[in-house]
Structure formats: structure tokens, C-alpha cells
Structure 1
Amino acid sequence: MSFNKSLPSTSKVVVIILICLFAISSLCAQNKIDKAFDSIITSKILTKKKVMNLLTFAGRNRYVPATKKFIIKALEISGKEDEHKKLLLANSYYALGNYHFFHSQIDSSLVALDLADENLSENDLVLKATIMTTRGGIYNKVGDVSLAITTQLNAKQILEKVDTLTLDFKERIKRRGNISTITNSLANLYLKIDDYDNALINYENAFKLTKALKNKPNAAIILSNKGELLNKMKKFEEALKVSKQAKQLKIEAKLPERFIAISNFHIGVAYKNLDSTALALSYFNQVLTQSREKNYKRGEMMALSERGLINFELNKIKEAKEDCTIALEIAEKTNDNDIKIKSCDCLYKVENSLGNHKAALQKYERFTQLKDSVFNEKNIRNITKIGMQYEFDKKEAQQKLIIEEKNRQRNRLISSFIVLSVIALLIVIFYRKRLKYQRKITEQEQTLKNQEIVKLQQENRITAINSMIDGQEKERARIANDLHDGLGGLLSSVKSHFLATQEDKTENKPTIKKTELLIDQACNEVRRISHNMMPHALVISGLKDGIKDITERLEIENYDVTLEINQLPKLDATQEVMVYRLIQEIVANIKRHADAKSIFIQLYAHLTTVHLMVEDDGKGFDLSKIKDKKGLGLQSIESRVAYLNGVIDWDTAVGKGTTININFPT
């Protein structure tokens, strides 16, 4: 039958329109990718940043085949780079391995990851752990779940041991993101081996980490995975609630349609087990439509296998057979044992009900064979896991013995060298002692005098600074009180008297309203100046709330602020004011000069030292030029540090951002 005869004219138009829309959509998507590629390549930025931009775009669109050219271009540019060649090649090969992994090209992925390892720096622990994470995913895909879990745990351990003080702001965020990704992967692996308790713990931890990072797409995926777990745990009411939340989060995060299909499938499974057959069928039909539109085979076979079982229960034998047959065909191609088992079970029931006992027996034999295979696979995984742990412990013990022996040999050599050096030194000292003795005494006396002079000068300078700062703070407090109690109260009285005199006047109302507004603005300005000079939160609630008050004001001004205060001892009132003023002055400088978007403030104590770090992602500056100018802001900061008997370290350069580290005794 020809196409023209088989379809009515309206249907033909609909099909043609759908084909045209699909073609236009594909063309638009390709144009968007091409524009992004051209934009990055033609941008006048540093080579390192250009490569990382290419890799970032490819990572965000890793399911799109066309993005591979971004990675190939990054590799081409990295190979020509001199300063950062190894670093860029390691990142580029990792991106290529990750791309092949998500496209199920396992051999190509392993080759690329090996090349990434070859170019990897020993100190780049974050990238090392990231590469291990993808390897863990590969081991999972090829069926070695035990090795996958071990690899992911090792990767997580590496990330957790990283000294975050050695990382900049973006690297710290990346590290936390990688930990959340690994935690989610571990949950998926525990789910695969039916370790539901560990799976649930890891999903919940991963969701908390991702939510803290405000990563809505990853949070949605983790919540969706948790919905699948709750279905397997037979907590269907909770699974339904979580899966619906995950679906809404995916829609808000604008995730691709196949992710929405997964949530629809989990919702359908929950409804099926809650005996809401009509709703379950509705959701499975949605999954089928979404999966077929996007050529998502896994979603298609999952929905078909579940719909086939429902059709069988509804005595729709023909539909059940058709659904489960197609599901089995896809499962055979993708080697999905779970769907194979479910489809064979469905087809066994179908053939049996049709009286096709021979065909039913074949499906039953296939069903039991697959069941046994899965059972044996799980046993093998457990045995392999135990064996691997034994081998790992054994190798670790051997390595420890080798290291201890090497340390002993090294210590013996060092001891011998020290003894010989001491003997040689004593001989030299013996022959030169008399000649140097008088000169040494003279030099020591002169050094002591110089030290006393310097110490006295420093003490005088610190005394002057202390007096100046004490005076400033007292004057601030006096002016703040005068402004608040005197001028603030006076303005309030002026407003009251003004309103009282204008109550019966109907003319000049716009002028009256304008005057009233100006008086209100003056009152607010007095309160703001008074608060800045002697903050209410600092006086009433202490340093921690005072700093929080600063960060809240920054967030109102659209800055991305992270505040960490840990193990802070009780400081005296003067120290608290000094620390508050330091942070206030630094933040003021950032707002005036840095053009920053993110600010990180960390305050904690270790033993008898308080550490303050303020970091921004602004444009940075040339410290030597700024110090030569001796600006008031810089002098004020350094004076307050001196008042605290502290030390300050500036880490900045043009285009790099700024990190200020201040240490002072409690």
C-alpha cells in the first residue's frame, strides 16, 4: 500500500510538519554549537582559559556528538602550548575519555584516560580523583561492580585528604562538586548490588552536598535516583513523592527530555505498585513518547516491559506480547539483564495463556537462566570484593615494609653524615675559635644594641598606633551615639512637628510629601552612618554576628559570599572591634576597586593563633605599585594588623584576584 493511500490528507500534513520541525530544531541546535565554538576560538583571551572554556562547554553538552570537536580543538591548542602544556593535555584527554564513556565507547575512553594520567601532575589531586571517577564508571559498565566501588572510594578518599587551603576559590568549589558526584556514583553502585542502606545514605549525602553548591541539575538527578531506590525498597508512597519532586526540579533546571522520562518512569512504577493502574499506564505512555522522540532506547525498553506486564494483567494479551517482545529485543542489544528477565517473565505468562506451551517453556528456561546468571554474578561480585580487599591489604603491607626499610637506610646515612659533619665542624671551630671570639663578642654587642633600638622604635610606633586607633574607636562610638541619640532624635521630632503643622493644609501637598520623604531619607542616612561607625550586631551579639551582618549586606548588593567561622575563641572587646574593622576595610576595598563577583571569608583559630583569610575573584592588582602609592586603605589595614601584633600576607596579581591572609595571637 502506498504512502498516499495509507494516510489521510490531514495525517500527511501533520507528519510533514513534524519532520520539518525536527529538521529545524536540529539545525538550530547545530547552529548554536557552531556559534559557541566560533565565539570561544575567536575570543582574545589567554590560551589556558580558551582551552578550559572549550572543555567546559563540551562537558556540559557531553551527550551531543557534535561537541567532540571542542575537545579535539582543545587538544590541538594544548599541544602547541609551552607554559601549561602538561596541565592542559591532562584536562583535554580526560574530557575526551569522559566523552567516549558517555557514548559507551569503552576502549577509546580507557586509551584517553591513560593519556590523561601520563600528563597528570603528581600535585593535581583533584584531577587525579576525577579521572579515577570515570574509570569507576567504566568498571561498572563492564560489570565489575566491586572494582568500580573500590575505585570510587579511593577517588573520594583522595579528594577528602586534599588541603583546601592550597586551593583557590574555584578549585574548592570544583572539589566539593566532585565529592558529590562520586557520592552519587557510589549510591548507584550500592543500589546495583542491592545494598539499599548504603545506597540511601550516599544519595542523601550527595543531595545535601549538591544542594549546598546550588547545583540544581545534579540535585535533580540525585533525587531521581533516590526515587528509584525507594521503589526497590517498596516504599512506594515516599518514592512517588520524591520522584515528583525530582521531576519538577529537572524541569526547573531545564534538563533534556530523557531525564524527565526517567522521572516519569519512576512515578509510573510507584503508581503501579499502589494499584493505580490507569495512572501508571499514563506515565509509561509518556515515557515511551519521550524516549522514542529522543531515540532513548533504555527508556523505551523500561516503559515497554512495565506496560507489557500491566497489559497482561488487564488481559490485553496481544498488546502485552508486542510490548514485551520489543523490550526484549532492545535489552538483548544493550545487554540489560534486568529488562531481559522482566520481558521473558512477561512472555512466558503470555505464551502460557495462549496455550503455546512450547514457546512458554522456552521463555521460562531463558528466564531461569538469566535469573541464575544474575544470582551468580552477585555472588562473584561479593567474592571478588573480598579477594580484592585481601590483595589490597597484602600489597599495602608489603609497600609499608619496603618504605620502612628505605627510611631506615636513609636514616643511617643521615646519621653517619651528621656525625662526620659534627666532627669536622668541631675541628674547624677548635682552630678558629680564638681568632673569632673577640670579633664575635663585639658583633653580638652591636647586634643587641641595634635590636634594642629597633625594638624601642617598634614599641613607640605600636604605642602611637594603639593610641590613635583607641582614639578613633572612642570617637566613632561617641559620634555614632550622638548621631543616633541626638541628630536621629532631632530629625524624628522635626518630622513629627512638620506633620502636625501640615495636617489641615490641603494646598502644596506634593511639596509636603517631598519634604516628608527627604526627612525620612535623612533619618535613614543617620541610622546607616551610625551603624557603620559602631554596628549594633557587633556591640550586642559579638564578632560572629557582626561579620554575618557584613556578609548579609554584601548579598543584598548581589555578591556571592561564602563565610566560614570555626573554633573561634572568645576575644576581648578591642580585638573583636579590630577584626571587624579589618574585614570592613578589606570589603570596602573590594567593592571600590576589585570588580569582584564572589567573596570568601574564613576565620578560625589554631592553638593560640587566629587566622583570617579574605579572598575575591576580582581583577587583582600590582602590589608593589600600590604599596609605593601608600593609599589610605592599605595603610589602615596594615595599622590594624600591627595593633593586633599580627602579620599580613598579600597574594595577588593583575587578573588573578586577591587573597589576604592575616594571623595574630589570641
Structure 2
Amino acid sequence: MCLFSSKCGLCATKSIFVVFFIMLSLSANGQNLKKITWKLQLIDSLVGAKSIGEAAKEFKQFTATYDTAKLSGKNGRYHFVKALIADNAEGAHNLAMKEYEKSLAIYTAANDLEQVAKVNSNIGNVHIALNQFDEALVYKNKALNYFKNYPEREEYIITIGGIAQIYLNKGAYLKSAQLYMQFLRYYEKKRDTLKIGNAYFRIGLAYDYADMVKQAKAYYLRAVKIREQLKDTVGLMNTYNNLGIVNKNSGKPDSAIYFYNESLRLAALTGMNRYKINPLINLGVVYRQTKQNSKAINYYEQAQAICIAEGKEGQLFTVKNNIGFLYNSLEEFTNALPYTKAAAEFSLQKGTLEDKVEYLQNYAVSLHGLRRSGEAFDMLLKSKVYADSLYDTKNTEQMAELSAKYEDEKKAQLIEILNQETAIQKLQLRQRSIVFASAIVILLGAAFSIYLIQNRRKLKAESRLQQQLYDQQQQATKELLYAEERERRRIATDLHDGVGQMLSAALMKIGEAHNQTEEHSAAWKATEQAKILLTESYDEMRSISHQMMPNALLKAGLASSVKDFLEKIGAGQLKVSLDVVGLDERLDEHTETVLYRVIQEAVNNVVKHADASKLSIQLIRDAEGLSLTIEDNGKGFDKEAMNDLDGIGLNNIRSRIALLGGTVDIDSAIGKGTLLAIHL
């Protein structure tokens, strides 16, 4: 009567099976969640490494593999990565914003403060892309409030760089330059050449926008030097474009045209049309200034077409403003008005301070030319309000001081000296020289002591982190090897106990039939042939089973297993020698398994591809570790040509040894054989 009574044997059995399948399902779900988390982390890291195309491809494959409907609204990382792809690969900023907000809600509910900070920072990036700088500053500051507790982490200084960019767009050039100087010092300590080059470029941009041409050019040229060394095509393209602006503002149109064309050439090499917009606009400007109006219009129209195709709203209105400016200069005010009006309206909604000043003034010129003086006057008044905020003499002086201070630091290696001239004068006074020198020594000693203490703490923290990462890697390695070997053993066991038993039984039955058949009859010959085929199949099955999990490896260890394997390979024209030193004690089971698989793979490669007559294997264990060398006298290959064409075999060897933290070296040349050297 009862459904699951302990007195009912059938029901009890059913309940056991239900529990079993529930546990099996939970285990599978747990493994699936790990795969999902790992995959999303991989895509996240690809975006961080600027491998946007590869990240988009991986995400597309991810969405095709997993049921993303189950992740929606539950998995914060899924929404975060989806937003990254939308923002970086597709330029779909509005979609990215929605996905970031979903991710933010999930992480906030989970009280995951670090992820909340990362999402806030990325939402700030989207607002920057949409020219919503006030909103961007709010989210960047939220992120900074968390990361400032960890000033040694790179996320902190990256957030500082994002805020510097916002201030640059808002016209606060002094604040922007100060933050970029902080950004520069951080990466100078890290000796990160790429980021130092980026900092030089950004600082140059701040001085450029502030019309401090000399300082801007100096920082741009430093950025060029680094980016040429790194072969940074996109970075060089941007720097050349800005050097063109500096030369144009310095009254050197020919130099400006040279740099703009170099920027345009590099933009074409990237295959990204949107990179062509800025150099095209600037070529239009310089040709307009040199009265070559037809060329100017041609470049403007090229830029406008790309802006529309790529959906680049901000740059589109820059083009419109420039076209309007050209028509104003030709006193064709009717033609100018639709362009200058559209640009002015955009600037009031989304433009930077600099945009507002320039676009409104340009619109006022068009209105005045059409005798709409009242409207023109209103536009000029609005422009003046924004100009008062933008052009601040005090800011310009402070920016000059900031640049000079950085240069002094670089030359003298003195940090935070606020009044250098006073200090030099005091140093020159003989009566205070001893006191001053003593103070310097004390300060330096104190600073050095603080540095040693902080450095020691930092080293300990880094050491702990490295150890944790190493432990995690080792654990992951063991789990991976466990899983692979369990599967091999399962297949080997199934072959031996399942297929092997059936083949053995079939062999016995066909033998009985053969013995009971008249000798030399057609049936007798057929059963004879069947016996031969079954025997060969059985032997082949045993061979495959043994290769997947050799008994010698399980029982006697690596050396015996390799010897057993090579005895089978050595028959025929290939002469095989094996030297084993220092393996009196068995290795760790996982290490033995990996090395056996590597030897198996390498020897099979020699047999299949090398056309060798001799094969030598040395396996040596000493105080420095374990070394494995496999050398043949075969036809070899061109190592340089093979770098990008490694087959599955070599890749398998590299990946297996890498999992154990070892190294793989291959030395080969055509006609001179191949040497594979492995060290653990």
C-alpha cells in the first residue's frame, strides 16, 4: 500500500536507485559548472589581453555548447563576459550596459565586492564610449573606492587611468595630466614598456589639448620611440596622428601631412576602417588651412562615410563641424548652416567642453553670415561660458610646473622635492651644509628602512600568492591526469573483460566447429580462416588494451614498462637501445604515467615518420631532477619551418610535460636526425 515503505523490498530498491541518480546528476552538474566557470574566465582573460577576435569566437562557441538560458539572471560572470564581448568586439554599448547591470545586481546580492568594483569600472568605460563623462566618473569612483585599499594591484592604477581619461574629455587637463603622471610612475617601477609608452601618449594628449605644444611633442616622441620598439601598429598610428596635430598647430603643414598619412597607412594595415577616421579628418583640416578646399572636402566625405558605416556618432559630428567651418570660410553660409547646427546641438548634449566652445562658435559664424545676429550672439555667450571653464591660465601654469617636476625627477632621481631652488640655495650655504647633509642621510636611512620593511612584506605576500597558484596548478594537474588515466583504465578494462571475453568465447566455439568439420572441406577452410582472423583480432585487442594501461607500469614501474614496450617496437630494421639510471625507487604514479605516454608518443613518431635505423632512449634521475632524451638518426626536419606546424604528437608531448612543470627542447635538421630532451 505504501509507496516507499521499508517493509517493501521493491520500493526500497527504487528509492536507492532514485538517490543514486540524484547524486550522479549533482556530480555531473558540479563538473559542468566548473567547465562553464573555466571557459568564461578564459574568454575574460582573452579580452584583457586584447585578443578580441579570439574572445568573440570562444564566446560564440560557448553559447552554442551550453544552455545559456539557465545561466541568465543567475551567473554574474556570464553576463559580465557577454557585456565584454558586446562592448569590445561588437561595439554594442547599449547591450553591454544592460548585461553589466545584470552582472552588477547578481554580484551585489552575493556581496562580492571585488567583482562589483570590476563591473562598476567597466560600466564607466561604456559611459566613456557613449560620451557620458559625468556618469562615467561616478562609476569609476565607485570602483576606485574599493581598489584604493589595494594600491599595489594593477586594477587600482587602471582605474586611475580611466578617471584621467574622463577628466581629459571634460577639459580638466591639469587633473588628467596629474593622474597620468601617477599612472606613468607606477609602470616605470614595474618596468612595463608598453604601459610606459601608453602613459607618454596620454600625457602628451593632455598637454596637446591644453595648447602646450612643446611639452606635448616631447611626450609624443617618447611614445613613438617605445611603440616602434614594440612594433605596436595601433599605438604608432594614434601617436603619428597626434604628432600631425602638434605640427599643424606649430605652423608646419607639410610635417603635419606627413604624420597624418603615416597614421592613415598604419590604419589601413590594421584592417579596421574606424581607425582611418581621425587621420582623414585631420588631413581635411590641414588642406583646408592651406586653401586646398577640394582635397579637404574629399577627406571629410571619406571620414563621414566611415563614421556612418561604423556608427561613430562623436566623430561624425566632428566631421560635420569641420565641413561647416570650411563652408563658413568660403562664406557659403547656407551650405554651412545644417552642418554647424547639427554639430552644435550634439555638443550641448554629449560633447566635451572643447567641443562646446568650438562648435557653438562655428554655429554662431553661420548664423551671423545669414544675418541672424541675435541667435549668433546667444551662441557666442554660451560658448564663452564654456570657454571660461576650459581655458584657465592657472591650470596652464600648473601643468607646465608638473611637466618640469617630472623632468627634474627623471634627471636627478629625487622624489617629492617641492622647492628645489630653495634646497639648492641651502645646500650652497657652508654654515648649514653639515646639518643639511645629516638630515638627508637620516631621511634616506628612514626611507630605505621603510622601503625594506614594505618590500619584505610585499615579497612575502607575493611568495604566498605564488605558492597558492602553484598548489592550485598542481592540484588541477593531478585532477586532469587522474581523469585521463581513469578513462584509459576503464576503456582498457572494458576491452579486456568485455570484448576480450567475447572474442575468447568466439574463438573456442569456432575451434569446436573446426574440429568437427571434415578436413579440407569448404566449411573446414572457412572455419580455419575464421580462427586466424579471430586470433589476430584477439591479439590486437590485447595490444591496444596493454598500450592504454600496461600491466608492467602498474606492477613493476616505468623502466620495466618502457623496456616491455620497446621490445615490441625494436623488431625489424629499427635498432632500439634503452639506458636507465637512478630509477631504483619508483616515481610518483602520475609522473610515471606522463613519462610513459610521452615515450610512447615520441617512439611512435619515430616509427611512423623518421625512417630511422637507430633509436636511443636515456632516462636519468639525479639530484637536479629527471632527464629524458630520445634520439634517432632519421631524416629529421627543418625546425624553423615546423614552428607553426607542430602536429598533434608534439603538442601532446609539450602539454603533458608542461602540466608537470617541465621543459621540452627539440633539436633537429634535415638529414641529421632528431633529439628530444625533457627535464623535470
| TM-score, with structure 2 as normaliser | 0.46
